[in-house]
Amino acid sequence: MKPVSTVSSVGKNVRLRRILKDGKAVILAMDHGIEHGPKDFIEPHLDPNVIIDKVAKAGVDAIMLPRGLARLTWESWANRIPLIVKVTGKTSLRPKERQYTQNLIATVEDAVALGAEAVAATVYWGAPEEEQMLEQFTEIAAACEVYGMPLLNLAYPRGPHMPNQNDVEIVRYAARAAAEVGADLIKTYWTGSEETFREVVKATPVPVLMSGGAKTEEPRQFLEVTKQVMRAGGKGVVVGRNVFQRENATEMVKAIMKIVHEDASVDEAMKLLK
Ligand code: FBP
């Protein structure tokens, strides 16, 4: 029997194809102004329009922004980069013990109103406040079904009792759980090796992208991790600091794209940074 497409599933697929044109993607994450504060941005990139323009020139596949930033920068990304609206967030100003949760900071309707191609929401899997984030995620997923809006889960295992959030067993559990609650795409932690990341990819039927992490000392180190992610079956990276904390952000995105989309070697990609 031919599978029946619902109107909503068509909408999700149409939007997903605008982001993952060849099934893979390099996405710029820029929600750090709320999550970490302005200290995360080097001087020329404190103006979000500057960095958006730089990554647009590199042809980045999508950009993930909170609602307010998307509104303020729309002339920089519109018709140039597909938008993903991050609908949950928190600040690092909170007391440490209250940092294991994410609050709703936008709705799926806001994302529709902004012309977005997807929404993103974090769950700190295993956190004491997982219950609240799960209910929140379920409501977001339900709204995404109504609007045909793809949903990216920032699947971050985290909690005061969790000594190693990059442990493969914990990361693959989070990646699997994300799929089980309705994520269409997953952004999760690097587990330290190609072999272990392959276990993460295998554990979930949903495309897995690696979450960038803190800026590596040398660009090459980040490119090497990206190469291993792709070899492990990952579908790309969602990267923030490793791009916007470097002056040559355009070239850095081009180098990452070369590995993700053209299966280039790290040496080949490095030539774009020379
Ligand atoms: P990076 O590539 O800079 O790590 O960005 C990915 C990201 O998930 C952001 O979307 C988010 O603001 C930040 O990392 C979360 O950082 P933390 O691990 O400190 O919560």
Taking residues 64-89, what's their average pLDDT? 98
* Ligand 1 pocket, residues with Cβ under 6 angstroms: 29, 31-32, 35, 154, 211-213, 239-242
pLDDT in tens, 101-137: 999 999 999 999 999 999 999 999 999 999 999 999 9
187 is catalytic: yes
Mean residue pLDDT of the chain comes to: 97
Nearest CA to ligand 1 atom 18: 213
Nearest CA to ligand 1 atom 13: 32
The yes or no reply on domain 7-273 and CATH 3.20.20.70 is: yes
pLDDT at 211 over 90: yes
pLDDT in tens, 55-74: 999 999 999 999 999 999 99
Pocket test for ligand 1, best of 30, 36, 222, 239 (most atoms within 8 A of CB): 36
Taking residues 182-209, what's their average pLDDT? 98
Rounded to 5 degrees, φ, ψ at 259 are -75, -45
| Candidates 54, 86, 187, 235; catalytic one | 187
pLDDT in tens, 216-259: 999 999 999 999 999 999 999 999 999 999 999 999 999 999 99
